[in-house]
């Protein structure tokens, strides 16, 4: 059964089987996004990937502005599809400050299931796209409006009376 596995605070992650229509291959989608929403651009999460057989590590190195600077709203994301991951895989997610979450994921062509989690969670993991999308509005951190300091009354020039 697809479900949310544990509650984190900074990131949301979706792990699920997928089918690439172009390549005609089955794979596993790993998608991570920030809980924080951005109002100017949809940034990209910068990820350094290392892989050793059944061990996959994503080191998060911050955010990068998108190549196409079109204004948009949303969280920063990174996604990748793996076509050769099968069975139980150890997935490690590391933040730039060294904090890490490690979990074992059982992958098959029809499902993904998180079996165990270690570390203080900073990521909420989903194995169902439907639940991932349904929970997004509840978990997202909307950008705060910042006052326009150039227009504050104390910053406006005084007008001389005629």
Closest of 34, 40, 35, 33 to residue 73, by C-alpha = 40
Q: Are 135 and 14 in contact (CB under 8 A)?
A: no
Cα separation, 156 vs 67, whole angstroms: 37
Closest of 98, 95, 134, 118 to residue 11, by C-alpha = 95
Q: Give the pLDDT band of residue 154 (cuts 50, 70, 90).
A: low
The better pLDDT of the pair 139, 143 is held by: 139
Q: What is the pLDDT of residues 100-115, one digit of tens each?
A: 999 999 999 899 999 8
Instruction: Record the tokens describing residue 112, joined without a space.
Output: 């993904």
In the prediction, which pLDDT does 115 show? 86
Give the pLDDT mean for 4-11: 66
pTM: 0.79
Q: What is the pLDDT of residues 45-95, one digit of tens each?
A: 999 999 998 999 999 998 888 777 667 777 888 999 999 999 999 999 999
Cα separation, 26 vs 152, whole angstroms: 56
């Amino acid at each position: 059964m697809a479900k949310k596995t544990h509650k984190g605070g900074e990131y949301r992650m979706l792990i699920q089987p997928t089918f690439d229509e172009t390549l005609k291959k089955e794979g596993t989608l790993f998608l991570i996004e920030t809980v924080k929403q951005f109002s100017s651009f949809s940034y990209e999460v910068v990820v350094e990937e290392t892989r050793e057989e059944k061990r996959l590590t994503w080191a998060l190195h911050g955010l990068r502005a998108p190549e196409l600077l079109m204004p948009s709203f949303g969280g920063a994301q990174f996604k990748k599809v793996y076509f050769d991951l099968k069975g139980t895989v150890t997935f490690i997610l590391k933040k730039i400050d060294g904090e890490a979450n490690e979990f074992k994921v059982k992958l098959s062509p029809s499902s993904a299931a998180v079996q165990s989690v270690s570390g203080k969670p900073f990521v909420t993991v989903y194995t169902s796209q439907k639940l991932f999308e349904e929970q997004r509005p509840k978990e997202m951190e909307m950008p705060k409006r910042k006052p326009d300091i150039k227009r504050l009354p104390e910053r406006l020039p005084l007008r001389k009376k005629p």
